[in-house]
A = this chain, B = another copy of it.
Amino acid sequence: MRTVDPAKHEARRRQILAAATRCFARKGFGQTRTADICAEAGMSSGNLFHYFESKHAIFAAIVEQDGIETDALFAELSTMDPWAALTAFFDLLVDLADDEYAKLALEISAEANRDERIAELVTANDRTLRAGLAALVERATAAGRIEPGVDADTAATWLTVLVDGLFNRVAVDPSFAPKRERETLRQVVARVLQAN
C-alpha cells in the first residue's frame, strides 16, 4: 500500500499552484489549458489530477491560498506596533506587486464576475483584508498615532482602494515602477488616514 508523505504532498501541491499562477497570469484563466499547467510544472496530467480535479479547482485553490496568506499576514501584523504594521503592509505590497502578481489579481477579479465559487472566495478574502486593515487603524487610533475621528471601516475601505489601484497600475502602465513609488505610497497612506 502506498503511503502519502504529507510534507511531500504539500510541496507538490504548492509547485502546481506556482506553475498555474504563471500560466494564468500569462494567458488568462480561459485560455490556459491543464496541459499548459502540466508542462509548466513538469508533471504528467495523471499526476496533476492526483492533486486537483480540474483547472477550475487549481484556480480556486490559488484564490484560497491567497486568503490563507492574508490571514497569516494579519495575524503577524496584529502583534506589531499598529503604525509599523500599516507601513510594513504597504511595503510588502510594493514588493509583491510585480507584473505576474498584478496580472493574476486582474484575472481573479474578472473571473469572480462570472463564477460564483470564485466570487465567494474573493469576497471572503476582501473581507479579511478590510477587517485586518480596520483593526490596525483602530489600534493605531487607540495608540494616538491616528487622530480620533477617523472611522476605521471607511479608512480601511480607502486603503483597499489604494491596494487595488496599485495592482492595476502595475498591470496597465509599464512605466509605473512600484518600488520607486514606495515613499509616495507611504505618504498617500498617511494622508488617507488623516482626521477630517
Which residues of A approach B to under 8 Å, CB–CB?
25-28, 30-31, 103, 106-107, 109-110, 112-114, 122-123, 126, 130, 154, 157-158, 160-166, 168-169, 171-174, 176, 181, 184, 187-188, 191-192, 194, 196
Contact = CB atoms under 8 A, between A and B. Distances in A.
Query: What 5 pairs between A and B have smallest CB-CB spacing?
Result: A165-B165, A161-B165, A164-B168, A191-B191, A30-B30
A114 to B, nearest CB: 5
B176 A172 contact: no
Contacts of A158: 184, 188
A24 B181 CA distance: 33
A191 B194 CA distance: 9
Contact of A192 (B171, B172, B191): B191
Contacts of A109: 106, 110, 168, 171-172
A103 B103 CA distance: 16
Contact of A172 (B122, B165, B181): B122
Given A130-B173, A157-B176, 17 more contacts: A25-B113, A27-B114, A28-B110, A30-B31, A106-B110, A107-B113, A109-B171, A109-B172, A110-B110, A122-B172, A123-B173, A157-B173, A157-B181, A160-B165, A161-B169, A162-B165, A165-B165
